[in-house]
Chain A
Amino acid sequence: MKTRCLILFTAIAAAALLAAPHFLKSYGIYLLSYWLIYTIATMGLNLTVGYAGQKSLGHAAFLGIGAYTVAILLKAGVSFWLGLPAAALLCFAVGLVLGFPALRVQTIYLAFATLGFNTAVWLLIRNEEWLTGGTFGINNIARPEFFGYSLEGNLAYYHLVLGITVLMGLKLWILLRSPWGKAFTALRDNAIRAESLGISVRGYTLLSFAIGAAYAGVAGGLFASLVQFIEPGPFTVAASIMMYLMVVVGGPGYFLGPVLGAAVGVVLPEWLRDVPGVANWYLPAFGAAVVVLMVWLPDGLLSIPDRLKARREAREASAARTAAARKEVLQ
């Protein structure tokens, strides 16, 4: 039943995502691509934070490393199709290194360690002008071709981003359903118990950072070609905090959490900008919406069905206890 529902949901979502651009103007299509790119990035962060239980406030650094890798390689004449895997691989390697502090510190201390890493990467991007263009950035970043078919237009590029999002989602789905997925969850829930069962805390912690970073690397590469001009701005600690927020709002540890979370983080503020009466207040309104969500749904939007189910089960259990007590009294 659950699988059937998921297949049905996927089919409807795929149809909606394919049809949506036909009802939108160019900026709307651009925004959809932007949302999907952040969905990929937060899928990776969800693995690190939501499934493996690590704290990371440095994810935007990987987005930046991915974006600059692709941009620099494109400028050097390397194909986008080689640049994108290179970005993923580089981020995987850097993510692996960033995972090491997680073996020594946890919780807020780990968050600060990753935050420091983000700041270091951001400074590197800003100051190493010979490589990154510094604050002037890199412009005229080309969009790729696919077997001779140009992906220059927003619609064509959207289809590429959509295809890669589905592919990355599928990969993550397979990974989470493999024994690795269970090991990540065990690590999050109880690392001491996990180790006593032979689960390598060191190995899976490093992997969770590295794979999460690789996802951000891919997203960064797509981002560079989407915006066609990159500078250090989108890769600050504030951007990392925003991505963390997207994971938390969607529901950490829920597979589709990043899809919803990125929609809230990317699409909602833009949509609020066009709502009459809210237009001038869209950022405070967005902030208020996030506060409300965090107060009422600390486990994210996708925890709603679980909460309703838990409430229903508690009600049923209470009714059963009352009925049993009544029966006992009558006898």
Chain B
Amino acid sequence: MSQPLLKVSDLRKSYGAIRAVDGVSFEVQPGEIFGVIGPNGSGKTTLFNSMLGQIQPDTGRIELQGEDVTHLGPLQLNRRGVGRTFQTLQVFGKMSVRDNLIVAAQEHQGSMLRRLFMPGDSGLGAKADALIDQFRIRHVADKKAGQLSYGQQKLVDIGMAFMSDPDLVLLDEPCAGVNPSLVGGLSRLLKELNQSRRGSFVVIEHNMDFVMDLCHRIMVMVEGKVMAIGTPAEIRANKQVLDAYLGS
């Protein structure tokens, strides 16, 4: 097996007496879609925030392509090729859809001083247009993102995470608030992006059909610990997981 893209070893984070993340270890391979599931309060979001530099873990180690990134902040992680989406919508409402996508990648275009003398689209106009077409939001490309429907904003939000061609994208509940009829389309879109860009995704999601359909491997977390890691079929067949989380 090749070197993992992401390696999390024995990660721990406590809030007082509560062990939110308790010795979590896993690896994500290049090109893999890795799902994280578990009941509310199982530590998924704390794990995500630790991996993304939003909070500092107490102990443990996070490696990205072999490099220790445990104590890096969101800015440095983004510069090292990590994209993310948030549980709630995080688009720039007063900017157009196109500008939202451009701003999501412009900081990867040369130095800060050089960007002052670049055109407004930082030379990313064509790339943004290609993503707009892939996400089928051409008809709203010039509208302010804040004026769009929730589902459309969600697509923009996800698109922003992919604009800088990250090696790893962490998607925090991509289906949250999305009309159930659009979930299938979202799954197809993410598979398409995974195929075309060969990027790795880590997905937190409560929608089991979506996770089982999208992910190559799934990790189940309960009370801050890893209960199981396996393919969707293995997870479905795991009695412990069925009892604790999925049910019959």
Contact = CB atoms under 8 A, between A and B. Distances in A.
Contacts of B93: 189
Interface stretch (A149-157, A194-202, A230-238, A255-263): A194-202
A253 B95 CA distance: 12
Interface stretch (B19-27, B70-78, B224-232): B70-78
Q: Which of A175, A198, A200, A253 has the most CB of B within 10 A?
A: A198
Contact of A182 (B86, B120, B160): B120
Contacts of B94: 185, 189, 253
A203 B107 CA distance: 12
B120 A198 contact: no
Interface string A237-259: 00000000000000001000000
A324 B196 CA distance: 39
A182 B99 contact: yes
A296 B109 CA distance: 42
B106 A179 contact: yes
Contacts of A179: 103, 106-107, 109, 115-116, 118, 120, 122
Interface string B103-120: 111111100100111111
A197 B160 contact: yes
Contacts of A189: 92-95
B79 A178 contact: no
B95 A201 contact: no
B75 to A, nearest CB: 5
A198 B78 contact: yes
B107 A196 contact: no
Nearest to A207: B112
A189 B94 CA distance: 8
Contacts of A201: 75
A17 B119 CA distance: 30
B107 A185 contact: no
B75 A198 contact: yes
Q: How large is the interface on B (under 10, 10 to 19, 20 to 34, 35 or more residues)?
A: 20 to 34
A257 to B, nearest CB: 14
Contacts of B117: 178
Contact of A178 (B86, B118, B160): B118
A190 interface: yes
A195 B75 contact: yes
Nearest to B118: A179
Contacts of B105: 197
Contacts of B116: 175, 178-180
A193 interface: yes
B108 A203 contact: no
A186 B78 contact: no
B153 to A, nearest CB: 12
A192 interface: yes
Nearest to A177: B120
B102 A196 contact: no
Given A179-B122, A182-B95, A182-B120, A198 B90 contact: no
A89 interface: no
B217 interface: no
Q: Which of A177, A180, A181 has the most CB of B within 10 A?
A: A180
B74 A196 contact: yes
B164 interface: yes
B92 A181 contact: no
B12 interface: no
B141 to A, nearest CB: 16
B107 A199 contact: yes
A193 B90 contact: yes
Contacts of A182: 95, 99, 102-103, 106, 120
A183 interface: yes
Contacts of A253: 94
B36 interface: no
Given A185-B92, A185-B94, A192-B90, A197 B104 contact: yes
Contacts of A183: 103, 106-107
Contacts of A180: 115-116
B216 to A, nearest CB: 25
Q: Which of B79, B104, B109 has the most CB of A within 10 A?
A: B104
Interface in B97-146: 99, 102-109, 112, 115-120, 122
A172 B53 CA distance: 34
A183 B109 CA distance: 13
A200 B84 CA distance: 16
Interface in A61-95: none
Interface in A185-221: 185-186, 189-190, 192-201, 203
A-B CB proximity, top 5 nearest: A198-B107, A198-B78, A193-B90, A179-B115, A182-B103
Given A180-B116, A183-B106, A196-B86, 7 more contacts: A182-B106, A189-B93, A193-B92, A195-B73, A195-B75, A197-B103, A199-B107
12 contacts: A179-B122, A181-B120, A182-B106, A185-B92, A186-B95, A190-B90, A192-B74, A193-B90, A195-B74, A200-B75, A200-B107, A253-B94
